[in-house]
Structures are given as C-alpha cells and as structure tokens.
C-alpha cells in the first residue's frame, strides 16, 4: 500500500505558508515539503498536530492507496518540443500544469533510458503552435504535487533538477527557446519559463520583453545567472575565427538558431551593427533547434561555428569566443509561488552550495541567483 497526502492542497487552501505550519507543528520547513512530496510519512503525533492546525482530520490528510501499476488508459496531452520526427511509442514525461496535461520527450542525445510516464500513440492536431497527442499512460506518477515543468534553453537546468530531486521534488525540463518558453507560460502550459531576451536585469525597463506579454503583477521574475553568449568553434579554433566579421568568409559555415531564440536575436543584432547582410553568411538559413544540438554540429565538424552560450561550449569541450553577457531569468506565475516544489526551487537558487556547483561546472556568474526582480 502507498500513503497519499493532501497536505499541499489543504495548506494552500487555508493560506498557510510552509514555514508557519512547520513552526506551529514543531518541525522544520523541509519536513513539510518532504511530507507534501510523499517522500516522508510523519508519525502519529505530527499527523495529529497537522490536522489540528489545518482544521481537518488525519484521514483527510493521509489516505492509503494501492501501489501504482501499469495501466492501459489513454489520455490527450499537449506535447512540447520538436514533434515532427517523434515515432509511435516515443517515451514521454508528463506534468500537470493548471488544468492541462503536458508531455515532454526526453533529450534524444541523453545516454540510457529516461523515466517514462507514457508512450506516444498518435499526434492529433495543432493549435497556437502547440501539438496535441494521444498517449498511453503507464502510471499516474505524474499526478504527484511534487512535480513541476520548466521550459527553457539553459543546459544547467539539469543541475537544478538534481538539486530538487535530492529534496524530494521533480523538475521536468522542456528545452525550448526563450520566446517559446514565455509563450508557453502565458498559455498556462508550464510552471516556469527561462529566458535570456532581457539585456540587463537591474532596471525595470530591461524586463520589457516579459512585461509586454504578461499583465502587471501576474508574474514573478527571478534572477538565475549572468551568462556569456558568443561564437562556439572547434577546440583550438583551427579556422582562426575571431569575431562576427569572420562569418562572411567563404571557408566558414555556421548553423543558426530558430526565430525567437535569444542566440538568433544576438546574431541578427550583431549583423545589423556591422552592416553585414545575412545572405553573406554561409549557413544563416540552416536552423538547429537548441543550444546543445547546435554545439554538437560544431564538435562533429559539420559546421565551423554557431552562436551559443559558454555552457554549451563547456559541455562539448569546445572553444568559446565571448560576444555578450546577458542575464538568464526565470519567470513564473505568482499564483504558483505557494506550490511546494516552486518554493523549494526558489530556496535552492539562493543556496551557496548550489551557486558554487553551477559556477564550477559552467562558469556562470551566480551572485544574483534567486534575487526577485519583479
């Protein structure tokens, strides 16, 4: 038998913060989060105290359920990412966001088999750039309130996912460009959107790309890191590429990012600054979805360079030529700030140990991580 809890829902309904509830019961906030995530079952005394503070019963807080088993149930989902090449039977991760069931295909370049909640049966139709799909459910583990969905293009999101996993929470990642991530958040299909469209993060006007999409006061904006964007070239830079002007050379082939990507916007801005027509750049019209896939093409020698981040270069052992420094921000609905996994995410950003890990692995400037900008 499995113990299921309604603690998160009841606490949110009563408007009681995790820290306050923990103090009144006599336990720490991490224990509250662990109970809500289902990774810790409290003893009788703690259960009774929780019920008293929340004005409910122990039976309402905790229920016995049969262990999850494979089921042949099907469901219709929104499926994120590149869907055109997904085969029937594609494994998918699922997350419940508001009233939507959202599916994400694992990174095809990942080693080993990834956790799976469902498999793809058929694509149904598209609407507003989204694709619906019919899937066969393998379990209902996705119903857990400990799981949230983040859309963004930052490779270090996996480090954040590991940090939350150690606390009993799940972060499902959909690798989407900055514009697409913000649109998905606007449509209510993700909990968190990562973006590097803003030029700076210390002036309200610099959040214009975000404030143009969302009504005032509807979202919270958190600083994640300051990162460098630039040209990624083969290790040792054999083509001796030094700047944006070298992209006009006949012996230099690039791969570009899709419209809406922050790296694509940087390239277009630099070409405009140096009065370079895009037609003079070999490979400008060649589009690769995602920072890591673009960097893989450089590593394989299929192209000579691409615009991406220092993180993508480091992960592939490639040489990085910086061109700009920009903030990477996390945007989320204020209504989701009380969700236990979101609270854990915010706390994790501010932890010195997490900041050191990201700085050491990727080289980001993490000094402002977790700062609330809006």
Read off the DSSP letter of residue 219. E
The residue among 21, 39, 65 that closes a domain is: 65
Confidence tier at 358 by pLDDT (50, 70, 90):
very high
233 and 317 part of one domain: yes
344 falls within a domain = no
Q: What is the CATH number of the domain that holds 74?
A: 2.40.340
Strand partners, 266: none
Between residues 260 and 271, which one has the greater pLDDT?
Answer: 271
The residue among 20, 49, 65 that closes a domain is: 65
Compute the average pLDDT of residues 244-251: 96
Q: What is the pTM of this model?
A: 0.75
Domain that holds residue 271: 228-326
- 231 token code pair: 């040209």
269 falls within a domain = yes
Compute the average pLDDT of residues 112-126: 81
Q: Using CA atoms, how far apart are residues 336 and 15, in angstroms rounded to an integer?
A: 13
271 falls within a domain = yes
Rg of the Cα atoms in the chain: 22
Q: What is the CATH number of the domain that holds 32?
A: 1.10.260.40
> Over the stretch 147-184, which tens digit does the pLDDT of each residue have?
999 999 888 898 999 999 888 889 999 989 889 999 99
48 and 104 part of one domain: no
249 and 292 part of one domain: yes
30 and 108 part of one domain: no
- If you write DSSP's letter for every residue of 138-164 in order, what string do you get? S-SGGG-TTEEEEEE--TTHHHHHHHH
Lowest-confidence region among 10-14, 83-87, 218-222, 263-267? 83-87
346 falls within a domain = no
Q: What is the CATH number of the domain that holds 278?
A: 3.40.190.10
Q: Using CA atoms, how far apart are residues 246 and 253, in angstroms rounded to an integer?
A: 10
Other beta carbons less than 10 A from residue 346's beta carbon: 16
> Over the stretch 183-215, which tens digit does the pLDDT of each residue have?
999 999 999 999 988 765 555 546 777 888 898
Helix axes 18-25, 44-53, angle to 10 degrees: 120
Question: In a 10 Å sphere around its CB, with 0-12 CB exposed, 13-18 middle and 19+ buried, how is residue 357 labelled?
Answer: middle
361 falls within a domain = no
Strand order in the sheet with 319-333: 170-175, 147-152, 192-195, 319-333, 219-233, 305-309, 254-255
The residue among 83, 108, 143 that closes a domain is: 143
For the chain, the domain total comes to: 3
345 falls within a domain = no
Confidence tier at 70 by pLDDT (50, 70, 90):
very low
pLDDT of residue 200: 59
């Amino acid at each position: 038998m499995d113990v299921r809890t309604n603690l998160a829902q009841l606490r949110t309904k009563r408007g009681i913060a995790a820290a306050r509830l923990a103090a009144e019961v006599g336990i720490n906030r991490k224990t509250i989060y662990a109970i809500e995530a289902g990774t810790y079952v409290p003893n009788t005394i703690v259960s009774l105290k929780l019920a008293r503070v929340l004005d409910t019963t122990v039976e309402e807080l905790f229920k016995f359920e049969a262990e999850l088993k494979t089921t042949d149930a099907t469901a219709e989902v929104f499926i994120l990412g590149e869907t055109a090449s997904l085969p029937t039977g594609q494994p998918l991760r699922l997350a419940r966001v508001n009233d939507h069931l959202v599916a994400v295909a694992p990174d095809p370049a990942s080693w080993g088999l990834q956790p799976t909640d469902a498999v793809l049966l058929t694509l149904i139709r598209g609407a507003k750039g989204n694709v619906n799909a019919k899937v066969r459910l393998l379990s209902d583990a996705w119903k857990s309130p400990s799981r949230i969905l983040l859309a963004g293009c930052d490779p270090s999101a996996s480090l954040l996912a590991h940090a939350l996993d150690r606390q009993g929470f799940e972060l499902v990642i959909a690798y989407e460009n900055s514009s697409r991530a913000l649109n998905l958040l606007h449509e209510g299909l993700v909990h968190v959107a990562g973006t590097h469209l803003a030029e700076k993060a210390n002036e309200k006007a610099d959040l214009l790309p975000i404030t143009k999409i969302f009504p005032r006061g509807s979202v919270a904006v958190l600083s994640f890191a300051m990162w460098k964007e630039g040209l990624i070239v083969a290790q040792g830079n054999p083509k001796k590429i030094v700047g944006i002007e070298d992209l006009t050379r006949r012996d230099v082939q690039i791969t570009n990012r899709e419209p809406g990507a922050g790296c694509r916007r940087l390239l277009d801005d630099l070409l405009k600054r140096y009065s370079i027509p895009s037609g003079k750049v070999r490979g400008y019209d060649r589009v690769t979805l995602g920072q890591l896939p673009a960097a893989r093409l450089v590593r394989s020698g299929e192209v000579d360079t691409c615009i991406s981040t220092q993180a993508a270069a480091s992960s592939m052992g490639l040489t990085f030529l910086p061109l700009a420094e920009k903030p990477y921000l996390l945007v989320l609905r204020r209504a989701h700030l009380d969700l236990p996994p979101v609270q854990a995410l915010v706390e994790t950003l501010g932890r010195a140990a997490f900041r050191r890990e990201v700085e050491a692995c990727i080289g980001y400037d993490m000094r402002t991580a977790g700062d609330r900008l809006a």
